[in-house]
Amino acid sequence: MIRKKTFLIVLLSFALSLSVLAQTAPSQTAYVKGKKFFDEGNYTEAMNSFLKSVDADSANINAHYMLGESYYKLKMNTKALGSYNKAYDLIVKQEKKTALSDDVAAVRDRSGKKIMELDELSKDCAPAQKEYAKKLLKVLEKSRKANKTAFSIELCREIISLDPQSEDAKKAYKELAGKAFEEPDSTQGQAKPPVAAKSEKVEARKLFNGTDIEGWASSSPDSWKVDGSEIVGQSVFGGMTFLAHKENAYKNCYKLIIKMKAESAVTKAGVVFGIRDDAVKFFAASINENGDFFLQEINRDGEVKQIQKAQVEGVKKQDWNEMALIITADTVRIDVNNIKILEAPSAIDIECLVGIMVSNGTVSFSSVAIEPIE
């Protein structure tokens, strides 16, 4: 009888071992492939392999950490933060049960450093974002008085995303939506899936004729020229130069599309546009090849104030990138390579100008076009 019980225990232990092996073997296989891709500099394939690894075994610490490293290399910082946090949490749980090996302790320390680095990066624009949130509260007040309920709810969401402590926005949301605002699930550290830009049926009108910059103006005309069939703009490091189209008839609603290629990873390029709220304001939206996105406000004295900074996925290096500025009756939206980067509710009338900008180097623009949106 004792021998039979012992045999059953051994059999159950063996079955359990097979079950664990069946779970970890595919995870380890995918991890090894991912590590090979990562060492070769193929970070996209590495990311895909590490995703398969953590899907097969959610407790694979090294796979979570290397997934974070892959995201980090691809400038997908929000997702990287989630993976580093997952690796760190798994190690802390393990540490409570048993002493850590030197390798696991090293992964814990590296994960902790990356978490602190990305946390600090996300705080860089916090003061400016809170200031912008205060401005949007005034827009929210006007919108509510005009009984624009759906638009007001979207405004509340935008304000809370900029300033999570905004009790005024949360109160307004509850009154408008009939329920308390629910914080997004931050445990995964994942960004929302990018939304592809909607293609418009209306034919675009070319603002650049491919031969000269007639119809354009700049306060620094020597910084702009036409080379072949491309507009080329040049700015000193730390400076910024604009080329604005002279036509001022652009109102809601339109879509400005540019194609651009920068000379270096730190060179910024993008669009400029003017808007009317209580007064006329000017903004610049730009990217660099490192995947950084900047939204800046420019006053009439040329002073630049950063409103928002974010990470962009899918920016091409040493190649053409496309940026679209999309204006509707109540939103301002920026797309990069058909991926939505920013969408801010706005109760403003678009006016004054549209144009292109360069900072920190030289940029070529092969196409600048505008189309109305029905």
> Residue 250 in 3-state DSSP?
coil
| Phi, psi dihedral angles at 52 (to 5 degrees) | -65, -35
pLDDT single digits (tens) 143-197: 788 887 877 887 788 788 777 888 998 999 888 888 777 754 444 433 333 333 4
Of 54-63, 83-92, 235-244, 312-321, the one with minimum mean pLDDT is 235-244
For residue 140, the one-letter residue type is: L
Total tally of structural domains belonging to the chain: 3
* 253 plus 363 within the same structural domain: yes
Q: How far does Cα 187 stand from its chain's mean position?
A: 18
Structure confidence at residue 3 as a pLDDT band (50, 70, 90): very low
* pLDDT 10s digits, 298-344: 776 667 787 778 887 788 888 899 998 887 766 778 889 888 888 77
Based on the fold, state whether residues 239 and 368 are members of the same structural domain. yes
Q: What is the pLDDT of residue 120?
A: 65
- How far apart are the C-alpha atoms of 310 and 15, rounded to whole Å? 49
Read off the CATH number of the domain in which 79 is found: 1.25.40.10
Angle at 66 between CA 62 and CA 71, to 5 degrees: 150
Q: What does the DSSP 8-state code read for residue 223?
A: G
Q: Write the single-letter amino acid at 203.
A: E
Residues 218 and 321 in one domain: yes
In the three-class reduction of DSSP (H, G, I as helix; E, B as strand; rest coil), residue 355 is classed as: strand
Helix (H, G, I), strand (E, B) or coil at 270: strand
pLDDT in tens, 208-229: 888 888 888 887 788 899 988 8
> Do residues 86 and 105 both lie within one domain?
yes
**3-state SS class at 11:** helix
CATH (domain of 316): 2.60.120.560
The pLDDT confidence band at residue 2, using thresholds 50, 70 and 90, is: very low
Question: Residue 346: its pLDDT value, please?
Answer: 61
Domain termination residue (choose one: 152, 171, 190): 190
This prediction's pTM: 0.49
Q: Which of 161, 190, 219 is a domain's end point?
A: 190
Given 146, 167, 190, which residue is the final one in a domain?
190
Question: Is a pLDDT exceeding 50 seen at residue 20?
Answer: no
Give the residue numbers spanning the domain of 33.
2-123
Same domain, 199 and 329: yes
266 and 310 within one domain: yes
CA angle 315/317/319 to nearest 5° reads 95
Same domain, 263 and 141: no
Q: 321 and 351: one domain?
A: yes
| Same domain as 295, residue 237 | yes
Distance CA 52, CA 47 (A): 9
Question: Residues near 257 by Cβ (< 8 Å), separated by ≥ 6?
Answer: 204, 322, 323, 324, 367, 368, 369, 370, 371
Given a cut of 80, is residue 77 above it in pLDDT? no
Is 255 found in the same domain as 201?
yes
Same domain, 204 and 185: no
| Same domain? 134 vs 227 | no
